[in-house]
Structure 1
Amino acid sequence: MAGDGERVGRWVRRGVNAVLAGLSATGLAVTNIPLLAVSIGALALAPVPFLGLAIVPWTMTLVRKRANLERLLAARTGVLVARPYHPPPERAVAGGWQRFRWTVTDPATWRDLAWLVPGAVVGFGLGLICVVIPLYGLVGLTLAPLWIWLGTGWYGYGVVWSVDTVAGALLCVPQGAALLVGGLWLAPWLRRVDALFAWLFLAPTRAAELRLRVTQLTVTRADTVDAQAAELRRIERDLHDGVQARLVSLGMMIGLADELIDRNPAAAREMLGEARVASGTALVELRHLVRGIHPPVLAERGLGGAVRALALSLPVPISVDVDLPGRLDTPVESAAYFAVAETLTNMIRHSRAHHGSVSLRHADGMLTMEVTDDGRGGADATTGTGLRGIERRLAVFDGTMTLSSPPGGPTVVTMELPCVLSSPRIMHSSETD
């Protein structure tokens, strides 16, 4: 019974959300026509010096914002409509020729303009149906109670339902209930139809998808080269300042001991003892350096085991939940591990959290990593290099990162990597470290 109640509750919430989305779509559709009129006026003024360079990009920015709102509404129905726009040129200023040219030469601009009128008609019509049917049913459902409460002389709803007796009002109750239920059932489907119609106009064409993919690969390749160069510089610095210096010192100690072994054996033995300590320190530093390149525990125990081992070494309790039915390819596994490690490091340094959690899941060809903490929140990916570095690391493998960190917390970092698993071993555990 409880399960049935939950399903009914989810169904009702889904219907109500669709009705509210239909109401939003109806209001937004009304703005399409004046927005088109303003756009046509701006394009007519394009030949005017200076004025056209400024007003056309500004107007098309409004059109893009309206199209992006439609993409957002479509995404809530499960229809993902990507943004097909060209990336803005570097050093483009408002009112300049580069920004004007970037706007008017982008095919997506004209597809947005072509969508405004049919989008207004379809969006307004379907949105109105989403709202009117359940609202009409709600009126019929409440007609009889209001009639009895306000008296038989009250005819406020009679205009809608055309009844003038209590018996007629009572008959409206089951009809209203049927319309309300039917409207809540129909609304999500109508919203999806509207989203699919928007997808026909606003989704990128195959040429646009190819262009965006080339742009993305160019950016990620440059980021990868920069990241590899920075990593090589870090390894070189660590070797030069750490292990290399220790080995030079070790060689000098052994040389001094060799000179003293005949004249002062006691001093030579002392020097050899110091050399033994220095060799141990150099070995520890070398092991730390190797772990920074590719932790041995990652190769031995996989991503789940490496993350659990990492959680054990942190000063804040971290609960780890792993559901990975196999092993990932080594490059992806390494990128995923260091992304989680960097996220946890940021949590320890900045969040003031008392507890954190890591969830690793693989389903439908996608590795999902979620890191949560109960800290102060307010994290912003645009203000630091840590989260930006994670985004670049994941982008190499077409991965993404989303951040939710309201002031006061909690902070949730969700990272996704498209990948396949290569081992049939089942590794499922949930534990608190």
Structure 2
Amino acid sequence: MRDIVRLLRVGLDGLVGLVVLLGGPARVRARADAARARFTPPLPAGGAWWRDAAWLATPLGSLLTVFWLDLFAAGLMGLAMPLLWALEDDGRLWYQWVIVDDFALAVFAMPVGALMIWIALLLVRPFLRVERWRTRRLLAPTLADRVEWLTATRSAALDASASELRRIERDLHDGAQAQLVAVSMQLGMAEDMLDRDPAAARDLLLEARSGANTAMAELRALVRGIHPPLLAERGLGGALEALALRSAVPVTCSVSLTRRLPAPIESALYFSAVELLTNAIRHSGAARVSIEVAERDGRVVLRVRDDGRGGAVMGAGSGLSGLASRLAPFDGVLRVSSPAGGPTVVVAEVPCASS
């Protein structure tokens, strides 16, 4: 039944696509991107607009769906032929180019109709495979598109790495380094005053000890920002559960993973969840957030949903665009659904392999 619904949706999408084709390149690309997102795994965006337009202009799926509906409807009519013949005033009906003018022919149409329904049910999956093949051939990126995509994601990864290094350097310079310099100066002053004023030297040593503890706390916070120890010890599930417990709003966390993921993927998904949770609390006014992680068809799917005011968009310079750039080096994709008034649902999908 699910495959039949998919086939009917393919037919409807093909008819709608012909209308979208008149809306210009932007609408064509948006329609094609939505089709790419339905693949498992989702297809990266291609570079040639004419391929998207060709996909919309050749509604093979609609033609296959119309043929299937005609076959299925003919089968139903065959099963009901004795009743239809009895209700006809003159006892004559057309059925598949045959005139049914007696009850024997009407009864014979029943097994023919059953055979047509059986054939129609057998054709559902082949028709879906044909449409899937056509869509992949026209919408999947070419080698040149793939090279361009990899070049862009590599550049984004290098920029992100350089930015992270500058952040770490700045945090060390303004935090722990300044504290350690103060500790060093206090120890030097205490050394000079040790013989002349032991009480003052003792006070300086206590201040130095307090400064050292502060520097250690800042270093621990910096390390947690780079790679949380809990993430390394308990994996993505444990780290997200701890994140949910520390949240200022109620957060439900569901993690369905049967294995550890590679450390870079765990880190990318964890910090994506952290940023999405922060956005939900700070910008959308959410009162409840849910975080779900599951593995499907060789991909890890992170889904964050909040009941806030909605209106989140993937725009240039936005936090969501930054998340998409963070996932891009892993061939990850980010999808956002955030109508006005909410809810906001953000889905991140990343290919994964055993660690």
**What secondary structure, in the 3-state scheme, does the structure 1 residue paired with 2:283 have?**
helix
Q: 2:175 aligns with which of 230, 234, 242?
A: 242
RMSD across aligned C-alpha pairs, in angstroms?
4.1
C-alpha deviation, 1:213, in angstroms: 2.2
Residue 283 (structure 2) aligns with? 350
Residue 134 (structure 1) aligns with? 72
**What secondary structure, in the 3-state scheme, does the structure 2 residue paired with 1:379 have?**
coil
C-alpha deviation, 1:365, in angstroms: 3.0
C-alpha deviation, 1:345, in angstroms: 2.0
| 1:311-358 superposed Cα distances (whole Å, 9 cap, x missing partner) | 222112222222322222222322222222222222222222222222
Give the whole-Å Cα distance in 1 for the aligned partners of 2:41 and 2:229.
42
Report the CA distance shift for 1:413/1:136 in structure 2 as closer, same or farther (over 3 A). same
What are the ranges of 5 or more consecutive residues in structure 2 without an aligned counterpart?
A: none
Report the CA distance shift for 1:413/1:73 in structure 2 as closer, same or farther (over 3 A). closer
State the TM-score, normalized to the length of structure 2.
Answer: 0.78
Give the whole-Å Cα distance in 2 for the aligned partners of 1:389 and 1:18.
36
Q: 2:10 aligns with which of 21, 25, 34?
A: 21
Give the whole-Å Cα distance in 2 for the aligned partners of 1:251 and 1:391.
44
| 1:200-251 superposed Cα distances (whole Å, 9 cap, x missing partner) | 5x255xxx63222211121111111111111111111111111122122222
Paired AA for residue 129 in structure 1:
F
Pairing 1:65–2:34 present: no
What are the ranges of 5 or more consecutive residues in structure 1 without an aligned counterpart?
A: 1-10, 36-57, 87-107, 423-433
Give the whole-Å Cα distance in 1 for the aligned partners of 2:102 and 2:41.
47
| 1:77-110 superposed Cα distances (whole Å, 9 cap, x missing partner) | 9897765425xxxxxxxxxxxxxxxxxxxxx84x
Give the whole-Å Cα distance in 2 for the aligned partners of 1:307 and 1:376.
24
Q: Which moved more, 1:413-422 or 1:225-234?
A: 413-422
Give the whole-Å Cα distance in 2 for the aligned partners of 1:30 and 1:258.
83
Report the CA distance shift for 1:82/1:134 in structure 2 as closer, same or farther (over 3 A). farther
Give the whole-Å Cα distance in 2 for the aligned partners of 1:381 and 1:357.
20
Residue 196 (structure 1) aligns with? 133
Pairing 1:298–2:227 present: no
| 1:375-404 superposed Cα distances (whole Å, 9 cap, x missing partner) | 222221216532222211111122222222
| 1:110-156 superposed Cα distances (whole Å, 9 cap, x missing partner) | x6788899x46x556423313323344566778898999xx86599x
Paired AA for residue 344 in structure 2:
T
Paired AA for residue 230 in structure 1:
S
Report the CA distance shift for 1:228/1:31 in structure 2 as closer, same or farther (over 3 A). closer
Q: Which moved more, 1:130-139 or 1:69-78?
A: 69-78
Give the whole-Å Cα distance in 1 for the aligned partners of 2:247 and 2:213.
24
Residue 210 (structure 2) aligns with? 277
Give the whole-Å Cα distance in 1 for the aligned partners of 2:230 and 2:106.
73
Give the whole-Å Cα distance in 2 for the aligned partners of 1:166 and 1:300.
77
Report the CA distance shift for 1:270/1:301 in structure 2 as closer, same or farther (over 3 A). same
Give the whole-Å Cα distance in 1 for the aligned partners of 2:338 and 2:274.
18
Contact 1:74 1:195 in 2 (8 A): no
Q: How many residues align?
A: 353
Contact 1:138 1:177 in 2 (8 A): yes
Give the whole-Å Cα distance in 1 for the aligned partners of 2:190 and 2:42.
72
- Where do residues 258-273 of structure 1 align in structure 2 (5 Å cutoff)? 258-273=191-206
State the TM-score, normalized to the length of structure 1.
Answer: 0.66
Identity of aligned residues (%): 44
C-alpha deviation, 1:18, in angstroms: 2.2
Give the whole-Å Cα distance in 2 for the aligned partners of 1:73 and 1:140.
36
Residue 373 (structure 1) aligns with? 306
Paired AA for residue 8 in structure 2:
V
